[in-house]
Amino acid sequence: MSYCFHHHHTMLAPALILLSLGAVGLCKVYDDVAELPELKFDYVIVGGGTAGNVVASRLTEDPKISVLLLEAGGSNEGVISSEVPFLFGDLFADSIYSWNYTSTPQPGLNGRSLGYFRAHFLGGCSAHNGMVYSRGAADNFNRYAQLTGDEGWSWDRLLPYFRKTEKLTDTHDTSGRINPRVHGTDGPISVSLSGFSWPEFSDHIIQTTKELPDDFPFNLDMNSGKPLGVGWTQSTIGGGERSTSATGYLTPKVMKRPNLHLLLNAQVSKLVNPSRKNGIPSFGGVQFRYGAALLVAKASKEIILSAGAVGTPQILMNSGIGSHATLSALGIPTVLDLPSVGRNASDHPSITLGWAVNSPETLETCTQNTTAFAEAMTEWETSRTGPFVDPGIATQIAWLRLKSDSPAFAKHPDPASGPDTPHIEFLLNPGGLPAPGPGNFMSIVVSVVSPASRGSVTITSNDPFAPPAIDLGALTNDFDILALKDGVGLAQHFISAPVWAGYLGAPTVDLTGDLEATIRSRATVSYHMVGTAGMSARGARYGVVDPDLRVKGMAGLSVIDASVLPFVPAAHTQAASYVIAERGADLVKQRQRNR
Ligand SMILES: Cc1cc2nc3c(=O)[nH]c(=O)nc-3n(C[C@H](O)[C@H](O)[C@H](O)COP(=O)(O)OP(=O)(O)OC[C@H]3O[C@@H](n4cnc5c(N)ncnc54)[C@H](O)[C@@H]3O)c2cc1C
Ligand SMILES: *[C@@H]1O[C@H](CO)[C@@H](O)[C@H](O)[C@H]1NC(C)=O
Ligand SMILES: *[C@@H]1O[C@H](CO)[C@@H](O)[C@H](O)[C@H]1NC(C)=O
Ligand SMILES: *[C@@H]1O[C@H](CO)[C@@H](O)[C@H](O)[C@H]1NC(C)=O
């Protein structure tokens, strides 16, 4: 038996053999389904991603509970681009570690289709994302509580879960850059300020907060529940390495639990073994593809879908849970007519602006110089220091409101969750994204973080392995295009602060023409999709899950991942995903106790 051995690691075989030796007979990452003791468990969790690994880890704290975790992709171990923060972008379009999704042509983006990245290996998007750690505004969560009628989703009640996930660590130069008191210190996920600085660039940002304090005030910690202003970026990095749901929650110690079973390379097609419990439809198992075989794993207590905002609605629809019209058109028998499945998808539309800068201190010193790049890699390998400990996304982030007289509000009521919720985000980057040629650059990624547009994920085939249609709905609501135009104006205002004179050169994105046309031809989205299995109040006439995350109208089936959020938070979405998973696991445990 070759526990813990995975083919694509041959490149890093020496390290892996050590790991395997230490774990033989204990580590239960099964390479072959035949090694599993049996295919019947209390809980089957679909998707070893950001949320799924949290749920698996928390449920198996109780030795009496057996869990099977099924992940479509392979292992995260030894995947170097996942470990080195600076290399994160290498995995997005990778055919092994990413699902190869492409959106439908987007009418709001001049008909362009976008690659829609989703991770396809253990850890899910937490293992390939940009590592930005932002919780969102307190009002984002208070609105979930209000909408669902469950106070448990309010900021105050979730705060203990945020802290439970976090281990504030390596806080280099903490003073004046973070408020340690708002963070957890002994959770599984490392959160830190960057271990590498770009002082000349970040000094310009901080100086801007002094020169234009009314519009761009400094905020000591954007994760306090009140994010507005400009603050230092926090990332899910510890000791110079990326921290993921796999490295943080599925530690070797957790993997030794005899009640936790993890099968990689197992793609779930649909739910099977239908029955009725007190007249309520239910499924007894999940079907998955393993190599050439189609197998069934049974769950006696619950099936938990954690396949993410694309995978979860796809599995629901494959199983006959969704819009009856859509399902019947594909010849799939409807088990439950739940038209909200896959609808109300929301993500953050963005445009990247750039300028040449008169400074040699930018990302291009690594990205355009192969010697320096190799040196930085060696430095990371030998001491976990240097530029590669940072993702190179943003030294600082700004969270901003539109002016109250913005034309955006004339067209649409304010979609933000409250007065402390930003409309706009800037990622302030000391480099070109990408650099348009040789030289030194800076970028501002301007995003609408309280968008009004909605998209969808839907199946287009009765082949459960066919990719779903992903319609991002990007910039289809006028609010979003008007807000993005204002956001570009805010960025131009930001760089009008006196400190930038002499530092900034020519813009790399021409903003002199028709701004709306420029935005529609260049905008993209932030890969923060939520809402495709949205929560709503019990008894509501729309929605997919109740506030306890159980699928409405079904027994023994819940969704625990980012797809349950009915609105996208004004934040990068991994922190919310961890918190949903922590609370979701507690909700499952409560049900188990009350059984
Ligand atoms: C390119 C990119 C950059 C991002 N940058 C940031 C950032 O900097 N900061 C931040 O906070 N957020 C970021 N995000 C968003 C954030 O990472 C996600 O919102 C969050 O991780 C989603 O968690 P999840 O558990 O819902 O889904 P995922 O983490 O996607 O987990 C789903 C898992 O289920 C598996 N799966 C899917 N279908 C099946 C199936 N049929 N059978 C078995 N397994 C299946 C997948 O392979 C995956 O492992 C980024 C996302 C992307 C894609
Ligand atoms: C992505 O596409 C490539 C090339 O078509 C293919 O080899 C690979 O298996 C695909 N990956 C996934 C996760 O579907
Ligand atoms: C989308 O969400 C809104 C609430 O924000 C709700 O009123 C509407 O019914 C939802 N649409 C679908 C198709 O679920
Ligand atoms: C490239 O990097 C190396 C190593 O840091 C440095 O010595 C060299 O001067 C750099 N080259 C250029 C053109 O900047």
Q: What is the pLDDT of residues 121-156, one digit of tens each?
A: 999 999 999 999 999 999 999 999 999 999 999 999
Cβ of residue 95 lying under 6 Å from some atom of ligand 2: yes
- The span from the CA of 415 to the CA of 417, in Å, is 6
CA of 182 to the centre of ligand 3 (A): 33
Please choose from 361, 368, 371, 379 the residue to mutate so as to test ligand 4's pocket, defined by most ligand atoms within 8 A of CB: 371
Whether 535 contacts 543, CB under 8 Å? yes
What residues does ligand 3 touch, defined as CB less than 6 Å away? Answer: 339-340, 343-344, 542, 566
Cβ of residue 462 lying under 6 Å from some atom of ligand 2: no
Whether 408 contacts 479, CB under 8 Å? yes
Share of the chain above pLDDT 70, in %: 95
The SS3 assignment for 454 reads: coil
- The span from the CA of 192 to the CA of 409, in Å, is 37
Give the tokens for residue 457.
């994920």
Q: Is the pLDDT score of 574 beyond 80?
A: yes
One-letter amino acid of 358: N
Residue 93: per-residue pLDDT: 80
Q: Is the pLDDT score of 388 beyond 80?
A: yes
Which residue from 61, 57, 129, 122 is spatially nearest to 581, judged by alpha carbons? 57
Residue 266: per-residue pLDDT: 97
Which residue's CA is the closest to the ligand 2 atom numbered 11? Answer: 95
Residue 594: per-residue pLDDT: 85
Cβ of residue 120 lying under 6 Å from some atom of ligand 2: yes
CA of 121 to the centre of ligand 2 (A): 13
CA of 60 to the centre of ligand 1 (A): 22
Comparing 172-186, 446-460, 519-533, 579-593, the range with the smallest average pLDDT is 172-186
Q: Band the pLDDT of 175: cuts 50, 70, 90.
A: confident
- The span from the CA of 552 to the CA of 554, in Å, is 6
Give the tokens for residue 551.
């699928």
Q: What is the pLDDT of residues 538-556, one digit of tens each?
A: 999 999 999 999 999 999 9
Residue 25: per-residue pLDDT: 32
Cβ of residue 101 lying under 6 Å from some atom of ligand 2: no
Give the tokens for residue 238.
């510890």
What residues does ligand 1 touch, defined as CB less than 6 Å away? Answer: 46-52, 70-73, 92, 117-120, 124-126, 129-132, 267-268, 306-309, 311, 315, 527-528, 561-562, 572-575, 577
Average pLDDT value over all residues in the chain: 93
Quickly tell me which residue has 């199983």 as its tokens.
319
Which residue's CA is the closest to the ligand 3 atom numbered 4? Answer: 566
Which residue's CA is the closest to the ligand 3 atom numbered 8? Answer: 542
Q: Which atom of ligand 4 lies closest to the CA of 365?
A: 14
Element (H, E) at 594: helix 574-594
Q: Render the burial of 357-378: b for 16+ CB within 10 Å, e for the rest.
A: bebeebbbbbbbeeeebeebbe
Residue 23: per-residue pLDDT: 31
Q: What is the pLDDT of residues 362-383, one digit of tens each?
A: 999 999 999 999 999 999 999 9
- The span from the CA of 509 to the CA of 495, in Å, is 14
Q: What is the pLDDT of residues 475-515, one digit of tens each?
A: 999 999 999 999 999 999 999 999 999 999 999 999 999 99
CA of 370 to the centre of ligand 4 (A): 8
Comparing 87-96, 114-123, 280-289, the range with the smallest average pLDDT is 87-96
CA of 99 to the centre of ligand 2 (A): 7
CA of 305 to the centre of ligand 1 (A): 13
Q: Is the pLDDT score of 11 beyond 60?
A: no
Residue 396: per-residue pLDDT: 98
CA of 440 to the centre of ligand 4 (A): 14
Which residue's CA is the closest to the ligand 2 atom numbered 6? Answer: 95
Q: Which atom of ligand 3 lies closest to the CA of 567?
A: 5
Pairing between strand 504-507 and 349-357?
antiparallel
Q: Is the pLDDT score of 94 beyond 50?
A: yes
CA of 50 to the centre of ligand 1 (A): 6
CA of 93 to the centre of ligand 2 (A): 10
- The span from the CA of 565 to the CA of 550, in Å, is 13
**Ligand number, closest to the Cα atom of 339:** 3
CA of 148 to the centre of ligand 3 (A): 12
CA of 308 to the centre of ligand 1 (A): 6
CA of 531 to the centre of ligand 1 (A): 14
Find the mean pLDDT for residues 174-193: 94
Which residue's CA is the closest to the ligand 3 atom numbered 6? Answer: 542
Find the mean pLDDT for residues 107-118: 97
Residue 323: per-residue pLDDT: 98
Share of the chain above pLDDT 90, in %: 90
Please choose from 91, 96, 314 the residue to mutate so as to test ligand 2's pocket, defined by most ligand atoms within 8 A of CB: 96
**Ligand number, closest to the Cα atom of 55:** 1
Q: How far lies 510's CA from each of 108, 172, 488, 517, in Å? A: 20, 37, 12, 11
The SS3 assignment for 34 reads: helix
